[in-house]
Amino acid sequence: MRRNATLARQTLRVIRTDATMSNHVFVLDTNRQPLTPCNPGVARSLLKSRKASVFRCYPFTIILKKEVNSTPEPCQIKIDPGSKTTGIALLNGDKVIWAAELTHRGQQIKNDLESRRSLRRNRRGRKTRYRQPRFLNRTRPRGWLPPSLKHRVLTVLTWVKRLTRLCAVSSIAQELVKFDLQKMQNPEISGVEYQQGELQGYEVREYLLEKCGRKCAYCGAENVPLEIEHIHPRSKGGSNCVSNLTLACAPCNQAKGNQDIKQFLNGKPDLLKRVLVRAKAPLKDAVAINASRWALFNALKSTGLSVSTGSGAQTKFNRRRLGLLKTHWLDAACVGNIEALEVLTTQPLLIKSAGHGRRQVIQVDKYGFPRHNQAGELVRKSAQVKQIKGFQTGDIVRAIVPSGKKTGVYIGRVAIRSSGSFNIKTPNGTVEGISFKHCSFVQRKDGYSYSFSDGR
């Protein structure tokens, strides 16, 4: 009874948190049929009177204890796709009742694939059984996307389907924007210059020699062997685009290593400004949007809902006309044709894609070699216990420690240990050594982490 009372107080505390943010609460009837979202005050009254219970914490959803025969008000999902973060807004008429910002992990997927490729390439060069490379016998289907871009499409589609199960969605609006990559780099480009490009008549090295005046971009050394240098390091997301390349002598190239250009030229603002002016802004994010925009549109059409589109200029015009700030979720609310907009939420739910772990069988160190335990045996992930005391790594828990050095209340993602002493990752840092006896579930692992902009 005491534990149930504690959980009830925790539930009401979560409702009060939502109330301070003015987010509407999703409502389901006893048959899990979606109803019209209500404001936090109504949800708190239903929970206090025990006419409803908590169904899900993120996004906060309650379920009634009776069947309701009524037609819910239709809502519209608006999406502002982004390379790193996608804004999502839920509108009931002209009222924004719920919003979220979804952070993708496309760069992490790209880094993992490059790491796997390098390990396999090194393995082929060792004195082991010859393994024929398999990169020439694969055909890509029509509409193929790299895994890092496909992840963005599937993640947005997952949350659209999740919202359709929590409320009555009648339509979807997507910002369908196309970037002119060459005009972004050269606003004066026109005519046949689109076909020629900046490398017309040059090879890359000759172009860089002409561009840099045949001297080192960092120390100005002349008549020495020059090497092609990445301004923004490849190891930190830089590309092989010619705008990210320059020339440097061997000592400067070795001294810079994989440092960021601002860190390497710290204390030399004039030189830093000259190098950055010579280079151009990377177009990586714009390319990602151009490549995945129609794939996302077709994926949204597959839901069976009516999908409308709006341009980026239209979104910007609506946002400026209404006097709203430049954020992902407010951009999403301004997509399409709107006359007026009433924003009832002041803080979006921050959703970060965290994944479901790895499928790797053997654990390896940072150099790619298999790890061994103290007995000399290979450390296999398949041999590890996935759940300890009913908890799994990635679950969101609330730990109430009554006494000791770690007295307090901690909410966050849990990392399990076979000893039953868990680590909890909170917005203020990681708390180690929390017993499973003090932990209670807030939400099971679903591949995402949740927070609010003020750390809650």
pLDDT tens digit sequence for 204-216: 888 888 888 888 9
Q: How confident is the model at residue 37 (pLDDT cuts 50, 70, 90)?
A: very high
- Where a domain ends, among 42, 64, 86? 64
Q: Can you give the residue range of the structural domain that contains 435?
A: 385-448
How many Cα atoms occupy the beta-carbon half-sphere of 121 within 13 Å? 7
User: Are 298 and 220 found together in one domain?
Assistant: no
pLDDT of the residue at 355: 85
pLDDT of the residue at 18: 40
pLDDT tens digit sequence for 51-65: 999 999 899 999 999
User: Are 116 and 250 found together in one domain?
Assistant: no
User: Are 258 and 316 found together in one domain?
Assistant: no
Least Cα distance to 280 among 186, 178, 194, 216 occurs for 186
Long-range contacts, 228-231 (Cβ 8 Å, 24+): 228/204, 229/253, 229/256, 231/261, 231/275, 231/276, 231/279
How far is Cα 174 from Cα 159, in angstroms, rounded to an integer? 14
User: What CATH number is attached to the domain comprising 234?
Assistant: 1.10.30
The pLDDT of 32-46, averaged and rounded, is 93
pLDDT of the residue at 15: 40
Least Cα distance to 353 among 170, 167, 109, 54 occurs for 109
- Quick check: 1 pLDDT over 50? no
pLDDT of the residue at 380: 64
Report yes or no on 277 lying in a domain: yes
Please answer whether residues 416 and 406 qualify as being in contact, where contact means their C-beta atoms are separated by less than 8 angstroms. no
Report yes or no on 361 lying in a domain: no
User: Are 177 and 204 found together in one domain?
Assistant: no
Report yes or no on 218 lying in a domain: yes
pLDDT of the residue at 363: 72
Phi and psi at 184, nearest 5°, equal -65, -35
Report yes or no on 84 lying in a domain: yes
Q: Out of 230-239, 302-311, 345-354, 400-409, which region has the weakest mean confidence (pLDDT)?
A: 230-239
User: Are 160 and 307 found together in one domain?
Assistant: yes
- Where a domain ends, among 16, 45, 64? 64
User: Are 175 and 297 found together in one domain?
Assistant: yes
Report yes or no on 133 lying in a domain: no
User: What CATH number is attached to the domain comprising 159?
Assistant: 3.30.420.10
Question: How far from 23 is each of 40, 217, 418, CA to CA, in Å?
Answer: 7, 52, 38
Tokens of 220: 């100005």
Q: Out of 6-10, 352-356, 368-372, 437-441, which region has the weakest mean confidence (pLDDT)?
A: 6-10
User: Are 36 and 81 found together in one domain?
Assistant: no
Mean pLDDT, the chain, whole residue set: 85
The pLDDT of 32-48, averaged and rounded, is 93
User: What CATH number is attached to the domain comprising 401?
Assistant: 2.30.30.520
User: Are 273 and 290 found together in one domain?
Assistant: no
> Which has more confidence, 223 or 14?
223
User: Are 260 and 299 found together in one domain?
Assistant: no
pLDDT of the residue at 80: 95
pLDDT of the residue at 2: 42
- Quick check: 231 pLDDT over 50? yes
How far is Cα 175 from Cα 336, in angstroms, rounded to an integer? 7
User: Are 239 and 214 found together in one domain?
Assistant: yes
Report yes or no on 169 lying in a domain: yes
How far is Cα 62 from Cα 47, in angstroms, rounded to an integer? 8
User: Are 21 and 79 found together in one domain?
Assistant: no
pLDDT of the residue at 385: 65
> Which has more confidence, 366 or 159?
159
- Where a domain ends, among 217, 249, 281? 281
User: Are 96 and 175 found together in one domain?
Assistant: yes
pLDDT of the residue at 201: 74
pLDDT of the residue at 427: 80
pTM score, two decimals? 0.79
Q: How many domains are contained in the chain? A: 4
